[in-house]
């Protein structure tokens, strides 16, 4: 379908088939990222279940866990259901006028046809920082928003790469994965907060009557988990977010068969150091790249601590991964 987007490349595409080895490299890269994401999700569930079991042993009352789960799920499902409206309002996005931006609209429309996805709602954010994001509860209710700075700084092939990346987030159901991760982080945080409050006010309930060394060990484990579990849960959530970015890059390359466009877009975005005016930590993981403009100030080799607490992989790693795909 790429000839629809770029008629000038039609001759090249019709006279050269992509080698099987290169195509397999793309699919292998995508499959590896999917496996890593679900491995992290499995570990995440294990952490949550472990925390829940320890706290239930300390309190001797599993009903508290059910209440925590109910409220955590309720808040996050509501956030997931209305995520598009909330995020668009936070960033003051306006619908793209097809009459005013026919070429921009046509690029997204052609990519949508090529991907087999429904046409998402298309929005524009008036901001000089080049960036974009996708949100919505499913492909039928998806939204893609781009900044005015993205349109000013990127050429057509680069813009196509960014939009293909965002469409890949929709096709890969990344909004659902992110919501599940947020639910689990919220669950762990609520449990930890409840436990620490009960310790502070001396109200461990029936657990005080449960004497013995075994209970003392569980109590120490519970205190340790209440401190470390929210941090560990957040780190796993961030790791999942980074893996989904790699996956969207690979999927976008599969859609356009032109990873150089996406890599070039990343380089241009990295050279812009100013943040998006409406950037917040709550929505940072949604964006194509870190909306705070920090990547351009990073050293050539990103410190491990920076990687661990980032919502996105370092741009140099994303570019290197795209270049390794070797599809021309």
3-state SS class at 83: helix
* CA–CA–CA angle 126, 271, 83 (5° rounding): 40
Residues in the chain: 328
In terms of phi and psi (left: phi > 0; alpha: psi -120 to 50; beta: otherwise), the region of 280 is beta
User: Is 109 a catalytic site residue?
Assistant: no
Answer yes or no: is 47 within a domain. yes
Taking residue 49's Cβ as centre, other Cβ atoms within 10 Å add up to 10
Q: The whole model's pTM is what?
A: 0.73
Answer yes or no: is 287 within a domain. yes
Q: One of 8, 103, 152, 166 is an active-site residue; which one?
A: 166
3-state SS class at 281: coil
Cα separations in angstroms, 88 against 94, 134, 141, 160, 277: 8, 10, 13, 22, 14
pLDDT means per 10 residues, the chain with 328 residues, are 37 35 48 65 69 69 64 67 85 89 90 92 95 89 94 94 94 76 69 68 50 59 70 77 89 90 93 88 85 59 67 89 76
Q: Residue 253: give the domain boundaries.
A: 32-325
Give, as one character, the DSSP assignment of residue 123: E
Answer yes or no: is 60 within a domain. yes
Answer yes or no: is 315 within a domain. yes
So what's the pLDDT on residue 143?
Answer: 93
So what's the pLDDT on residue 303?
Answer: 64
Answer yes or no: is 18 within a domain. no
Cα separations in angstroms, 280 against 79, 138, 147, 284: 16, 23, 15, 6
145 φ, ψ (degrees, to nearest 5): -125, 140
Structural element, H or E, at residue 85: helix 83-90
Give, as one character, the DSSP assignment of residue 121: E
Q: What is the tally of structural domains in the chain? A: 1
So what's the pLDDT on residue 173?
Answer: 80
Answer yes or no: is 27 within a domain. no
Answer yes or no: is 9 within a domain. no
Answer yes or no: is 59 within a domain. yes
The candidate with the shortest Cα–Cα distance to 173, out of 257, 87, 247, is 247
């Amino acid at each position: 379908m790429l000839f629809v987007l770029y008629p000038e490349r039609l001759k090249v595409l019709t006279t050269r088939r992509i080698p099987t080895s290169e195509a397999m490299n793309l699919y292998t890269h995508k499959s590896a990222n999917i496996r890593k994401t679900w491995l992290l999700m499995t570990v995440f569930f294990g952490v949550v279940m472990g925390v829940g079991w320890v706290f239930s042993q300390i309190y001797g009352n599993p009903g508290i866990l059910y209440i925590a789960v109910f409220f955590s799920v309720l808040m996050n499902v509501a956030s997931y259901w209305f995520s598009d409206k909330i995020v668009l309002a936070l960033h003051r996005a306006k619908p793209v006028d097809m009459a005013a931006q026919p070429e921009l609209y046509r690029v997204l429309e052609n990519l949508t046809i090529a991907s087999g996805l429904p046409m998402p709602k298309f929005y524009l954010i008036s901001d000089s920082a080049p960036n974009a994001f996708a949100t919505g509860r499913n492909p039928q209710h998806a939204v893609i928003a781009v900044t005015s700075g993205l349109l000013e700084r990127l050429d057509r092939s680069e813009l196509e790469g960014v939009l293909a990346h965002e469409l890949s987030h929709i096709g890969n159901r990344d909004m659902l994965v992110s919501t599940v991760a947020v639910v689990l982080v919220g669950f762990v945080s609520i449990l930890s907060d409840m436990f620490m409050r009960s310790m502070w006010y001396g109200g461990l309930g029936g657990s005080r009557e449960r004497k013995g060394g075994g209970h003392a060990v569980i109590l120490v484990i519970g205190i340790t988990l209440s401190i470390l579990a929210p941090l560990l849960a957040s780190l796993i959530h961030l790791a999942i977010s980074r893996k989904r970015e790699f996956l969207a890059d690979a999927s976008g390359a599969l859609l356009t068969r032109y990873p150089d466009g996406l890599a070039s877009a990343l380089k241009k975005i990295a050279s812009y150091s100013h943040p998006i005016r409406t950037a917040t930590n709550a929505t940072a993981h949604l964006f194509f790249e870190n909306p705070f403009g920090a990547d351009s100030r990073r050293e050539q080799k990103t410190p491990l601590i920076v990687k661990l607490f980032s919502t996105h992989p370092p741009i140099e790693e994303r570019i290197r991964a795209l270049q390794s795909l070797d599809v021309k």
